[in-house]
Amino acid sequence: MKPAGLLARKAGLGLLAVLLVVGFGWVVARSGPLSPIRVTTLRVEAGTLSPAIFGIGTVEARRSYLIGPTAAGRVRAVHADVGERVKAGQLLAEIDPVDLDERLRASEAAYTRAASAVTAAEAARKDALARRQLAELNARRYRDLGGRSFVSASAVEGKQQELDSAAAALEASEANLQGARQELVRLRADRDGQLQQRRNLRLVAPRDGLVISRDAEPGSTVVAGQSVLRMVEPESLWIRARLDQGRSRGLAVGQTAEIVLRSHASTPLPGKVARIEPVSDSVTEERIAMVSFDRIPDGLGVGEMTEVTLDAGSAQPGLLLPNAAIKSMPRGTGVWKLTAGKPQLAPVRLGSMSLDGAALVVAGLTEGDEVVVHSERELAEGVPVEVVSHLVGDTR
């Protein structure tokens, strides 16, 4: 064996041994209990935070109308269809009057007959008047004659009785006339009522609007209150937004809103909080706010899903903390603060949060404190950590 060859072998073996030991050492250091937990940290800085509220909602009409009959009936004709714009007073549908027209004719005839009855009663009154006048003349004449004893007293009394009878007959005929007139009024009211009913079977548009559904077709029977057509006022479309109760702090009427329609996800539309419902949904734990558009977009459909972001008040200055750093604990919230390179759990009190994940620190941290934002494992008090710039890929 040549000494040179031996040396080379020794060197080669040594190199291999060193490689192996280094590799093994790296393995022991990088994994297992000895390895530090890699974290990213951040120094707490002052800044401003714009609180915002996010919710989802559906497009609804502030004013919608359910057009239907007030009594059960069969639909005779429907004159409007879904999507049609209608004017106030426009005939939309008709309910079959069944025998109403005939009854109307009957009351028309009764009314005419009553009018004739009034004429007859008037004539009878005139007759009674004439009779009374004659009886009066006769009675006066007989009283004169009786006073001069040309006729017997009984004859005078007979004429006086005739006068009284004629007066009574006149009164009766006057009452008759009154009655006939009343009857006329009654029948006219009757007829008018039926006319009203007849008119009520014509379903007309209460306002200018858009027909959104046609619920009954000619021939189908509808009950009172059931809709034949539904219409909305397209100018009154707004959004019924549902906001998580837990994150609805600062919600107020008049706040500006950014509305994203599901059909136009890339173009947010401006709007405003028009109303906050006084009653919130206790089952879903959401508050309900009505958000109006600044300008209602063309082709907006009722029931479309939207995302609403409300600007909840002015920017608030203070210390900011990313929410990835916040640790929820049974006793409240905390952060892992790095003191002398070791993590320590420090309780913090937090204020408003913004939608981009920043939280306002109320108490517990001072400016310049180094806190752990991301970590590759669950941290514990005092474990060794290694601060890196980011843990995975790019940190957008």
Partner 1 sequence: MISLAGRDILHSWSRFVLTGVGLGLLIGVTLTMAGVYRGMVDDARALLNNSGADIWVVQQDTQGPYAESSSIHDDVYRTLRALPGVSRAASVTYLTMQVRRGDTDVRAMVVGFEPGQPGEPGYLVAGRQITRSHYEAVADVKTGFRLGDTLRIRRHDYRVVGLTRRMVSSGGDPMVFIPLKDAQEAQFLKDNDAILGERARTAANPALNRPGVPGLLEALQASQTANRSVNAVLVQVAPGGEPERVAREIRRWKHLQAYTRPQMEEILVSKLIATSARQIGMFLVILAIVSAAIVAFIIYTMTLGKIREIAVLKLIGTRNRTIAGMILQQALGLGLIGFMVGKTAATVWAPFFPKYVLLEPGDAARGLLVVMVICALASTLAIRVALRVDPATAMGA
The residue written with tokens 């001069």 in the block is 148
The bridge status of strand 37-43 relative to strand 385-387 is parallel
Q: For residues 173-211, b (16+ Cβ closer than 10 Å) or e, as one string?
A: bbebbeebbebbeebbebbeebeeeeebbbbbbeeebbb
One-letter amino acid of 93: A
Q: How far is the CB of 197 from partner 1 (least distance, A)?
A: 22
Residue (33 or 154) nearer to partner 1, CB = 33
Tell me if residue 292 falls in helix, strand or coil. Answer: strand
By CB under 8 A, tell whether 23 contacts partner 1. yes
- Are 289 and 276 in contact by the 8 Å Cβ rule? The answer is yes
User: Phi and psi for 200 in degrees, rounded to 5?
Assistant: -65, -20
* Pick 72 or 123: Cβ nearer partner 1: 72
Choose the binding region for partner 1 from 2-10, 78-86, 176-184, 206-214 (rule: CB under 8 A). Answer: 2-10
75 CB burial (10 A radius; 0-12, 13-18, 19+): buried
Residues numbered 194 to 253 that lie near partner 1 (CB under 8 A) are 221-223, 225-227, 243-244, 247
> How far separated are the first and last CA of the chain, in Å rounded?
63
Q: Nearest distance from residue 286's CB to partner 1, in Å?
A: 8
Question: Is residue 175 a contact point for partner 1 (CB under 8 A)?
Answer: no
Question: Helix (H, G, I), strand (E, B), or coil: what is residue 222?
Answer: strand
Nearer to partner 1, 285 or 367 (CB): 285
Of 127 and 277, nearer to partner 1 (C-beta) is: 277
By CB under 8 A, tell whether 24 contacts partner 1: yes
**Considering the complex, what minimum distance in angstroms separates the CB of residue 355 from partner 1?**
5
Which one of 208, 304, 307, 370 is in contact with partner 1 (CB under 8 A)? 307
Residue 190 Cβ, how far from partner 1 at the closest point, in Å? 30
Closest to partner 1 by CB, 90 or 226: 226
Q: How far apart are CA 178 and CA 376, in angstroms?
A: 102
278, 283, 340, 381: which one contacts partner 1 (CB under 8 A)?
283
196/265 with CB nearer partner 1: 265
Nearer to partner 1, 169 or 228 (CB): 228
Q: Note whether 388 binds partner 1 by CB under 8 A.
A: no
Query: Going edge to edge, which strands form the sheet with 73-78?
Result: 202-204, 91-95, 73-78, 221-222
Of 24 and 150, CB closest to partner 1? 24
What is the C-alpha to C-alpha distance for residues 132 and 166, in angstroms, rounded to an integer? 5
Q: Which of 196, 278, 330, 389 binds partner 1 (CB under 8 A)?
A: 330
Q: Are 374 and 42 in contact (CB under 8 A)?
A: no
**Residue of 18, 30, 119, 342 that binds partner 1 (CB under 8 A):** 30
The residues, ordered by sequence, that sit 6+ positions from 34 with a Cβ below 8 Å of its Cβ are 28
- Cβ atoms 124, 190 nearer than 8 A: no
- Mark residues 45-64: x for contact with partner 1 by CB under 8 A, - for none: ---------xxx--------
Q: Which residues bind partner 1 (CB under 8 A)?
A: 1, 6, 9-10, 12-13, 16, 20-21, 23-24, 26-27, 30-33, 54-56, 221-223, 225-227, 243-244, 247, 283-284, 307, 322-324, 326-328, 330-331, 353-357, 373-379, 390-396
